[in-house]
Amino acid sequence: MMMSERGVVAPATGGSVLAQFGDILAAAVPELVDHVQAVGFDADTGRLDVVPDAPAYGTKLRWSAPKLTAAANT
């Protein structure tokens, strides 16, 4: 959901986004690497589903959405 809401422009395939999520997250918000997992991607809508370990990590992830989107686009 975050990818489609934040304007990810690169047409990505689900396997690619899921497989590279750790690298994308490390580039954008390295402190969250061990605390957030991507669990699903819908290529038709651009929706990326992620699961944080705790609500605080989810909040940090939402605050970092522009950085994460830029890293995914790169």
Q: For 10-67, what is each residue's pLDDT tens digit?
A: 544 445 888 899 999 999 999 999 999 999 988 888 888 999 999 999 999 999 999 9
CA distances from 68 to 11, 15, 32 (A): 16, 18, 11
pLDDT at 44: 85
Do 29 and 70 contact (CB within 8 A), yes or no?
A: no
Q: Is the pTM of this model over 0.85?
A: no
Do 68 and 61 contact (CB within 8 A), yes or no?
A: yes
pLDDT at 14: 46
